[in-house]
Amino acid sequence: MTRENRRPGRHFLQIPGPTPVPERILAAMSRQILDHRGLEFGVLGRRVLSGIKGLFKTQSHVIIYPASGSGAWEASLTNTLSPGDKVLMCETGQFAVLWEAMARRLGLETEVIPTDWRIAADANLIEKKLKADTGHKIKAVCVVHNETSTGCLTRLDEVRKALDAAKHPALLMVDAISSLGAADLRHDEWGIDVTVAGSQKGMMMPPGLSFTAISAKAIEASKAAQLRKSYFAWDEMLALNATGYFPYTPATGLLYGLAEAIDLINDEGLENVFARHQRLAEATRRAVQAWGLEIQCRDPKYYSPAVTTVVVPEGHNADAYRKIVLDNFNMSLGTGLNKIAGKAFRIAHLGDTNELTVLGALTGVEMGFELAGIPHKKGGVAAAMSYIAETANAVKAAAA
């Protein structure tokens, strides 16, 4: 077996999850495992179950599963709905497609609002569908907050207003897997009934934990829900979570990391975290625009603070380009998914990242264009640098 030569420096992981894990979180996870029925574990359990609520901006329950975000998707549907129930979903990208496929597989009837994968969920279309549903057959509206395949962010405040304007009793379910800890999320204020998220994106942790914030309305719906569930049942989790424990063996090492991740976000300040993501996203978009390339998200209203999806010119393959960047600069860029496979790549500015990290990534992107022969204008990195320098004083003032 041939052995690859060592590549000095760090690998630039610029995909929208998993994201790089801070040293403080890695160190926290290296502790010895606790007795998950002992008193010390109860302290840890209560700490993370309480602390995670602040990131969702909720006073209600947040359930933590040892699972990926897909597990939380399944929990959201099986705990609130019954076989044959109708759900309204918006196809904003690959992850909306996967959630809809899961709903059908579980025995639900889905009605899909399509898009061209270049915008997020349109609240006006949701309102129109709900107003037409005079018999209230639609039991839930499911939307992806930040669609990582396309770089489009749904305006959840507008979706909430759409449900209210339609006077429709449907549950509002939100996939915040890549927006928690990156974009403003207000579970209570926006009347969200179920919000699901994962550990490996804005939370800066390894994959393995999912989070489900649930409203009182969702808990009430769960009492009549008839879809089968066992591992993902809410009732047993809620009963034991009250004392900081779990009904089965928890992922203790990841919970150590979660406690540290919550502290890191709170130390920076949640609103400062959002502002940092917005600033780095804008710097990235300015680079793309200066290169003369196209951003997949066609409406600035829906720009994502977590990831920018870049369309490559006709006649060029995005995956071949990504390989050139990886081979030459040790940087991983996100692949195009489904409808945009080979047509686009993704630059993440998500999680534990800063100005120099993003500028380094953009430098690799621009050099990659040269090597791949992708037509572009010079100066994308310079445009990003100028924006970051121009806004530096504002960042200092906000932190003071």
Largest CA distance in the chain: 66
- What lies within 8 Å, CB to CB, of 5 at 6+ separation is none
Measured CA to CA, the distance from residue 337 to residue 326 in angstroms comes to: 18
Whether 9 contacts 330, CB under 8 Å: yes
* CA 28 and chain centroid, separation: 23
Residue 342 and residue 330 in contact, taking contact as beta carbons nearer than 8 Å:
no
Domains, the chain: 12-17+270-399 (3.90.1150.10), 23-266 (3.40.640.10)
Tokens encoding 192:
């969200």
Q: How far apart are CA 202 and CA 294, in angstroms?
A: 25
Collapsing DSSP states into helix, strand and coil, what is residue 334? strand
Phi, psi of 278 (to 5 degrees): -65, -40
Cα(370)–Cα(143) distance, rounded to whole angstroms? 38
59 to 52, 171, 238: CA distances (angstroms): 10, 18, 14
Give the tokens for residue 181. Answer: 């800890």
Residue 29 φ/ψ, nearest 5 degrees: -75, -10
pTM: predicted TM-score of the whole model, two decimal places:
0.95
User: Which structure tokens are listed for 137?
Assistant: 């057959």
- Torsion sign (Cα): 21, 25, 26, 27: positive
> How many H-runs (helices) and E-runs (strands) does the chain carry?
13, 14
Report mean pLDDT in 10-residue bins for the chain, 400 residues.
78 97 98 96 98 98 96 97 98 97 98 98 98 98 98 98 98 98 98 98 98 98 97 96 96 98 98 98 98 98 98 98 98 98 98 97 98 97 97 74
The confidence score (pLDDT) of residue 5 equals 81
Give the tokens for residue 31.
Answer: 């502790």
Share of the chain residues as helix, strand and coil, in percent rounded to the nearest 5: 45, 15, 40
| Packed helices 270-291 and 380-399: angle between N→C axes, nearest 10 degrees | 160
Burial 61-83 (b: 16+ CB within 10 A, else e): bbbbbbbbbbbbbbbbbbbbbee
Amino acid at 269: G
Instruction: Quickly list DSSP for 152-183.
Output: EE--HHHHHHHHHHHT---EEEEE-TTTTTTS
- The residues facing 175 across adjacent strands are 144, 196
Do 363 and 333 contact (CB within 8 A), yes or no?
no
- What span, in angstroms and rounded, lies between the C-alpha atoms of 79 and 97? 21
Query: Is 155 marked as binding a ligand?
Result: no
With 0-12 / 13-18 / 19 or more C-beta atoms within 10 angstroms meaning exposed / middle / buried, residue 10 is: exposed
At residue 211, the 3 state secondary structure works out as strand
User: Are residues 100 and 113 in contact, defined by beta-carbon separation less than 8 angstroms?
Assistant: no
| 3-class secondary structure, 332 | strand
